[in-house]
Amino acid sequence: MKDVATQPIVWPTEQAPVPHRNVWQAMGRGLRGRCPRCGEGKLFRAFLKTADHCTHCGQDFTGHRADDLPAYLVIVIVGHIVVPIALSVETNFAPAVALQLAIYLPITLLSSLLLLQPVKGAVVGLQWAFRMHGFDEAHPEKI
Ligand SMILES: [Zn+2]
């Protein structure tokens, strides 16, 4: 078994101040599927697959760790829209269950699929702006 914790990671103490990254701008660019750094290159090479790097500025995207956060956020967003509507319609009109399912299930599925890529892009933009995970150039393993 390989022991991965033999050498502790030592962060350098003397380093130049890092330039500020605008969080909202980076998230907005990611939301539109663009590179959080330059806003020009494409962030995705497939529906939910991020590109390896930006085609415009060369920013490396392989260090992002969006994992399941975009899916959780989409569930929260869609749930907070569809559930109150469903409860309101059921309380006030009480239509047939089959009719409600024929309306709510496609709306839920479609809105989830439409939101998933933009939300993942925003999460990657957030990680880039906060220099999280692989987006920190000052990490000892990248120097
Ligand atoms: Zn770029």
CA of 27 to the centre of ligand 1 (A): 13
Count of structural domains within the chain:
1
Which two three-digit tokens encode residue 116? 């998933």
Domain for residue 140, yes or no? no
In a domain, 66, yes or no: yes
Task: For residue 1, tell me if it sits in a domain.
Answer: no
pLDDT at residue 136, rounded to an integer: 83
CA–CA dist 35, 57 (Å, integer): 9
69 in a structural domain: yes
Residue 119 lies in a domain: yes
CA of 140 to the centre of ligand 1 (A): 23
CA of 68 to the centre of ligand 1 (A): 24
If you measure from the C-alpha of residue 45 to the centroid of ligand 1, how many angstroms do you get, rounded to a whole number? 14
Structural domain harbouring 96: 23-135
Separation of 58 CA from ligand 1 center, angstroms? Answer: 6
Confidence at residue 2, expressed as pLDDT on a 0 to 100 scale:
57
The rounded percent of the chain whose pLDDT value lies above 90 is: 78
Give the residue from 64, 80, 81 showing the smallest Cα distance to 126.
Answer: 64
Read off the pTM. 0.84
Rounded distance from Cα 77 to ligand 1 centre (Å): 28
Residues in the chain: 143
Q: What is the pLDDT of residues 37-80, one digit of tens each?
A: 999 999 999 999 999 999 999 999 998 999 999 999 999 999 99
pLDDT band at 7 (very low <50, low <70, confident <90, very high): confident
* Residue 3 confidence (pLDDT): 59
Q: How far apart are CA 23 and CA 65, in angstroms?
A: 17
Note the pLDDT tens digit of each residue in 104-128. Answer: 999 999 999 999 999 999 999 999 9
Tell me: pLDDT of 103 over 80. yes
List CB contacts of 140: < 8 A, sequence separation 6 or more.
9, 10, 11, 12
